[in-house]
Amino acid sequence: MTTDWILDQASLLILNSRRDNTARPVVRSFFDEATFTATHLVLDPASARAAVIDSVLDFDPASGTISYRSADAIIAYVRSQGLTVEWLLETHAHADHLSAASYLQRQIGGQIAISRNILHVQNTFGKLFNAGTEFAKDGSEFDVLFDDGDGFAIGDLSAISLAVPGHTPADLAYVVGDAVFTGDTLFMPDYGTARADFPGGDARELYRSIQRLLRLPDETRLFLCHDYKAPGRDAFVFETSVGEERAGNIHLRGGVGEDAFVKMRNERDHTLTAPHLILPSLQVNINGGRLPEPEDNGKRYLKIPLNGDKEATMASGVRSAPRQTMARGNWHKAPEAER
């Protein structure tokens, strides 16, 4: 196996922080049940500096209403604790919720950051939405573009970005002290792993990214971006550990090999429909969480490409929900699980 120097560096950071409590972050999580999304506020208690990871902008697709309940809860907490937000981190361009990064930046500051591979996602979906020349597709919509292994700090806490492609080509995990924020790559052990059928997604890459994370020390705290309550579990949970994932993840336990995982993941993904917010979400999220500019009537509009252009629709990776699933009235919950 080729030596992964970046992962070795991340492991050393985790082990050192476990020995020194002042190097361990405090994590306060905010869960949005409407999108099953956990936003994590990562705090260095020594400096009162913080980062917000994977924020949510509330959106009602039926009425086109944007609201700020989820983001305002974070703002209220930051202000009540006297925190300084240095970073607004995105693990990837989410397809299941709109990012509140731009709104948060206007309210509490912080640099918006994402993987440099967002350029691939911008190119794919910029074409789908027929974005004009005003959308540069060069990553300039974000303040910082991270490469694999880039180091940064949250106050006095050391942090490293880890590339974990597979769910999308632009997924990052963030290692902060002894905590890792995995985005959509992994779910709770009783729920499994993320889908890999979005444009640029790849089940084989996903398996290798998961194995990369599972080579971190057992005691590493893992904070996940989503939870959907696995059958038999009544509470939402979005924190686990590397050891727990390695021992009990239902898609990986028993030494599941790469080929078997790829077969399982591809077959499973073929049964999943698109997240119901994929088209609104990606228009906003590839643009750093910024809403479209108002038109000459003062209103903002999101584009919905119709399926008259089969080639464009297929290229987007979007599959429509089957009629019988939508009729249950809770169609967004089941088919888009494993976002």
Give the CATH number for residue 149.
3.60.15.10
335 lies in some domain: no
Q: How many helices (H) and strands (E) does the chain have?
A: 10, 14
The stretches in the chain having pLDDT less than 70 are 1, 132-133, 308-339
Q: Which helix (H) or strand (E) holds 15?
A: helix 5-19
pLDDT computed for residue 329 by the predictor: 31
pLDDT computed for residue 135 by the predictor: 77
236 lies in some domain: yes
Query: Residue 192: helix, strand or coil by DSSP?
Result: coil
- Output Rg (C-alpha) for the chain, integer angstroms: 19
Query: Is residue 13 a contact partner of residue 158, using CB atoms and an 8 Å limit?
Result: yes
pLDDT in tens, 279-319: 999 999 999 999 999 999 999 999 988 874 444 444 455 55
Question: What distance in Å separates the CA atoms of residue 94 and residue 81, rounded to the nearest whole number?
Answer: 28
43 lies in some domain: yes
Q: Which helix (H) or strand (E) holds 119?
A: helix 118-128
244 lies in some domain: yes
336 lies in some domain: no
Question: What distance in Å separates the CA atoms of residue 143 and residue 323, rounded to the nearest whole number?
Answer: 42
Question: What distance in Å separates the CA atoms of residue 50 and residue 4, rounded to the nearest whole number?
Answer: 29
Cβ-proximal residues to 123 (8 Å cutoff; 6+ apart), any chain = 137
pLDDT computed for residue 4 by the predictor: 97
Residue with tokens 């009162």: 48
Specify the amino acid at residue 53.
Answer: I
339 lies in some domain: no
158 lies in some domain: yes
Range of 14's domain?
A: 5-326
**Pairing outcome for strands 26-32 and 151-154:** unpaired
Tally of domains within the chain: 1
333 lies in some domain: no
- Return the sign of the alpha-carbon dihedral for residues 94, 95, 96, 99: positive
pLDDT computed for residue 314 by the predictor: 40
Structure tokens at 11: 């492991």
Q: What is the pTM of this model?
A: 0.92
pLDDT computed for residue 319 by the predictor: 55
